[in-house]
């Protein structure tokens, strides 16, 4: 069989050796399957891990009765993709094309296999990740219909891309079949954006949480359980904290407002992460971490935003944006930072349409073939410039200083210098945005001479430093002038509440805030690198352990 899907040469279709199939036999049962029999259907919440012993299985995308073959699997291949491990609903159907035999392994047993057999685990995980990439590229399951000028349409599209939800974007103005499709579902163009799930359920301008629930993401959590750790944020630090906390037997809940991986999750390739000489994408890092966290029993909810925090009877209550609270004996703050906005006229008019703060496949597709400008001199700006250069006509990289080496890693500088369609503009700042509904040009100024020029950029990507995402903590713990969290010795003693600290007979731990038991990564002086975030997230669990032991916290209990 040709292992290519829409031109993608994929590692998604490995064949298993005899000894690997023999190992899997311990966990499942052999079944005789007739031609035409459905092994799983789009929309199913769970299904068995299937190894084909004899025969062929066709993987089909069936939208409104129009079947499209995505792949055909033969003997020694296995079925499934990332939703087997994340709990999302199934995007495709599997139909037995030629009768034969299959080995069916229950999904709970698959997790045991991934734990017990490293070599087989690596094969399965790599295939699942690659298959998700294939599905993202070909567009299956979910359809999002809307105007490219609509911020809500772009919000839904960004949510799908950042959470790696397979989908097809149908642009109202440019897709000739868009209005006919809407008409079949009784939707008027002015009612867009809409999300159509599996050709059946239509959601009119849904919230991110509503869309997530529809497709089976784990959004809701028990309001009654007392968790030992609540991790707020699922970037590298938060994911590391969830993995290490759960692996050490602590009841762990992870809350993430937008998408797993945080800002790092938008990186097309992280090339300086230890142990991955060829680099890995932020999405791959996040997906692998989620599998680990789930393996150890951590609960991860997306999207679920924390909007407040208060202390009550030696535990903490985190207020959620949709209402209600969750309770924990300790809190690890890993909400990261937001990129700063440019102080220029009419910026808000173009945000979400032509001005972006992340460079993912969604933004790149909107800019394909055009010129774009990237503002910033750090690694995030460099990664965005290199990623976009493969997809657009030209990238203008603007920095306010005269030397990239002051804030960007050498490997990125080398790649930028080798990329012909990236132009570096030093001592440059954006002064004006041109256009009406969409960006038609960017006026930049040399901050030494005052000379101005206009770039024919149709999109602007901004990576100019970060502000702490800690507004939800105001009034609960001490913050510095930039909103970051002073911890350990950096804390002014006047910030410590004597009533709270009475009886502890100690200074705050190194990563501990002005409130005991609140530790984290969004701290003053932290190093803004993926590896250091992972390290601090795991180290935060150590201090939580010490705090919980100190408080003589009981294990799991109910809020009754």
How do residues 137-188 score in pLDDT, each as one tens digit? 888 889 999 998 898 998 999 899 888 899 999 999 888 899 999 999 999 9
- At residue 104, the pLDDT reads 97
How many whole angstroms separate alpha carbon 298 and alpha carbon 519? 18
What secondary structure does DSSP assign to 461-477, as a single string? EE---EEE--GGGTTTS
pLDDT surpasses 60 at 10: no
Q: Which residues pair with 56 in a beta bridge?
A: 98
Whether residue 323 sits in one domain with residue 351: no
How many whole angstroms separate alpha carbon 371 and alpha carbon 115? 47
For the chain, what is the domain count? 4
* SS3 call for 374: strand
Block residue for tokens 């296995």? 78
pLDDT surpasses 90 at 224: no
- At residue 493, the pLDDT reads 82
Under a CB-based contact definition with an 8 Å cutoff, are residues 460 and 481 in contact? no
Question: The CATH number of the domain where 124 resides is what?
Answer: 2.60.120.10
- At residue 525, the pLDDT reads 62
- Asked if residue 202 is part of any domain, the answer here is yes
**Structural domain range at position 454:** 347-464
Closest listed residue to residue 47, CA positions, set 69, 73, 28, 66: 28
- Using the 8-state DSSP alphabet, how is residue 552 labeled? T
Kindly provide the b/e burial profile for residues 349-382, where b requires at least 16 CB atoms within 10 angstroms of the residue's own CB: bbbbbbbbbbbbbbbbebbeeebbbbbbbbbbbb
Whether residue 246 sits in one domain with residue 205: no
- Asked if residue 560 is part of any domain, the answer here is no
pLDDT surpasses 60 at 8: no
Question: The CATH number of the domain where 169 resides is what?
Answer: 3.40.30.10
- At residue 154, the pLDDT reads 87
Residues 438-446 have a mean pLDDT of 96
Whether residue 103 sits in one domain with residue 180: no
Q: Which residues pair with 430 in a beta bridge?
A: 444
**Nearest-5° Cα angle at 301, 297 to 303:** 165
Whether residue 241 sits in one domain with residue 259: yes
Query: Where a domain ends, among 399, 433, 464?
Result: 464
- Tens of pLDDT, residue by residue over 255-311, are 999 989 887 777 777 877 778 887 788 888 888 898 889 889 999 999 999 999 999
pLDDT confidence band for 199 (50 / 70 / 90): confident
- Tens of pLDDT, residue by residue over 304-322, are 999 999 999 889 999 999 8
**End-to-end Cα separation, the chain, in angstroms:** 59
Query: How large a percentage of the chain has pLDDT more than 70?
Result: 96
Residues 508-523 have a mean pLDDT of 88
Question: The CATH number of the domain where 321 resides is what?
Answer: 3.50.50.60
Block residue for tokens 């590896």? 531
Whether residue 31 sits in one domain with residue 173: no
Whether residue 475 sits in one domain with residue 460: no
Q: What average pLDDT does the chain have? A: 89
Whether residue 327 sits in one domain with residue 246: yes
Whether residue 477 sits in one domain with residue 334: yes
Query: Where a domain ends, among 102, 137, 172?
Result: 137
Query: Where a domain ends, among 172, 191, 214?
Result: 214
- At residue 552, the pLDDT reads 65
pLDDT surpasses 90 at 208: yes
- At residue 524, the pLDDT reads 65
Which ranges constitute the DSSP H helices of 248-281? Answer: none
Whether residue 457 sits in one domain with residue 351: yes
Higher-confidence residue of 232 and 502: namely 232
pLDDT confidence band for 326 (50 / 70 / 90): very high
- At residue 114, the pLDDT reads 83
């Amino acid at each position: 069989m040709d292992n290519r899907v829409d031109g993608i040469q994929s590692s998604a279709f490995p064949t298993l050796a005899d000894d690997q199939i023999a190992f899997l036999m311990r966990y499942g049962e052999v079944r005789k399957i007739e031609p035409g029999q459905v092994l799983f259907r789009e929309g199913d919440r769970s299904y068995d891990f299937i190894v084909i012993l004899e025969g062929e299985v066709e993987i089909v995308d069936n939208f409104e009765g129009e079947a499209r073959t995505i792949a055909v699997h033969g003997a020694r291949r296995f079925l499934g993709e990332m939703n087997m491990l994340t709990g999302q609903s199934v995007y495709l159907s599997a139909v037995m094309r030629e009768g034969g035999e299959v080995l069916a392994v229950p999904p709970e047993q698959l997790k045991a296999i991934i734990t017990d057999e490293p070599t087989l685990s690596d094969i399965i995980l790599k295939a699942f990740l690659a298959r998700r990439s294939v599905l993202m590229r070909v567009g299956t399951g979910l359809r999002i219909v809307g105007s490219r000028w609509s911020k809500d349409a772009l919000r839904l599209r960004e949510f799908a891309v950042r959470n790696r939800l397979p989908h097809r974007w149908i642009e109202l103005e440019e897709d000739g079949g868009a209005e006919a499709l809407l008409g079949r579902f009784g939707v008027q163009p002015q009612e867009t954006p809409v999300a159509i799930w599996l050709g059946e359920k239509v959601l009119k301008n849904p919230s991110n949480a509503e869309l997530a629930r529809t497709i089976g993401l784990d959004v809701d959590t028990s309001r009654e359980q007392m968790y030992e750790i609540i991790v707020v944020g699922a970037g590298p630090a938060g994911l590391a904290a969830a993995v290490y906390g759960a692996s050490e037997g602590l009841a762990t809940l992870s809350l993430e407002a937008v998408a797993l991986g945080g800002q790092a999750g938008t990186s097309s390739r992280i090339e300086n992460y230890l142990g991955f000489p060829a680099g890995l994408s932020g999405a791959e890092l996040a997906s692998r971490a989620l599998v680990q966290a789930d393996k150890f029993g951590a609960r991860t909810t997306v999207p679920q935003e924390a909007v407040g925090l208060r202390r009550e009877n030696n535990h903490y209550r985190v207020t959620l944006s949709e209402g209600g609270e969750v309770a924990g004996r300790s809190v690890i703050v890993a909400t990261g930072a937001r990129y700063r906005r440019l102080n220029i006229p009419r910026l808000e008019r173009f945000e979400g349409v032509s001005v972006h703060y992340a460079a993912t496949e969604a933004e790149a597709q909107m800019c394909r073939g055009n010129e774009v400008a990237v503002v910033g001199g750090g690694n995030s700006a460099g990664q965005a410039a290199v990623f976009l250069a493969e997809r657009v006509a030209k990238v203008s990289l603007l920095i306010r200083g005269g030397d990239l080496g002051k804030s960007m890693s050498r490997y990125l500088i080398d790649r930028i210098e080798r990329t012909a369609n990236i132009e570096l503009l030093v001592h440059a700042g954006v002064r004006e945005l041109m256009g009406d509904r969409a960006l038609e040009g960017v006026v930049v100024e040399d901050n030494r001479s005052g000379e101005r020029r206009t770039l024919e950029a149709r999109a602007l990507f901004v990576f100019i430093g970060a502000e702490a995402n800690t507004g939800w903590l105001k009034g609960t713990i001490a913050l510095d002038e930039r909103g970051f969290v002073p911890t350990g010795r950096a804390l002014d003693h006047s910030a410590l509440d004597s009533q709270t600290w009475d009886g502890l007979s100690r200074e705050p731990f190194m990563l501990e805030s002005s409130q005991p038991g609140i530790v984290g990564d969004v701290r003053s002086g932290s190093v803004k690198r993926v590896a250091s975030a992972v390290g601090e997230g795991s180290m935060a669990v150590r201090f939580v352990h010490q705090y919980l032991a100190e408080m003589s916290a009981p294990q799991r209990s109910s809020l009754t």
